[in-house]
Homo-oligomer: A and B are copies of this chain.
Amino acid sequence: MRLNRATDFAIRVLMFLAAEDEPASIDKIADILGLAKSNTMKIVARLSTEGIVTAQRGRGGGVSLKTPADKISIGTIVRLFETDFAIVDCFNPKAETCAYEPRCALKHKLNQATQAFLTTLDEALLSDIVSNSQKPIRQLG
């Protein structure tokens, strides 16, 4: 069971920004977190569209949190970046038909479990997992 890499990276980018005092360039974010620049740009673009970060071009520009860290839940980010919660095939409308469809009780239970997963993350705020003292430990890349 795993999340998309984009979800993982998006959370790390937000953790980084939450601990920064000033706007950070895409290059800096990518270098320090050890992410590809292209991935970092895509993630920032998506977060910007959602009003979670602002990205300013030019001198003195850079990326910074727009929404305060104590208003961003990890659950929100996971819901945003997971393209689907098709935890098994039958959740995917394009999947091959299952012999148990359409009245399978398993689907309902898996939905409940997924909701329990997300609810736990809804209760986790970015500010809970990052303090100013929690800067990345070392530069990767």
Residues of A within 8 A of B (CB): 1-5, 7-8, 11-12, 15-16, 32-34, 74, 82, 85-89, 96-106, 109-110, 112-114, 116-121, 124, 128-130, 134, 136-140
A139 to chain B, nearest CB (A): 7
- Within 8 Å by CB of A89, from B5, B110, B130, lies B5
Residues in B with CB closer than 8 Å to A103 are: 134, 137
CA distance in complex: A32, B98 (Å) = 10
Residues of chain B contacted by A104 (CB below 8 angstroms): 15, 129
Are B113 and A2 within 8 A (Cβ)?
no
Q: Within 8 Å CB of A129, what residues of B? A: 104-106, 109
Which residues of chain B are within 8 angstroms of A137 by Cβ–Cβ distance? 99-103
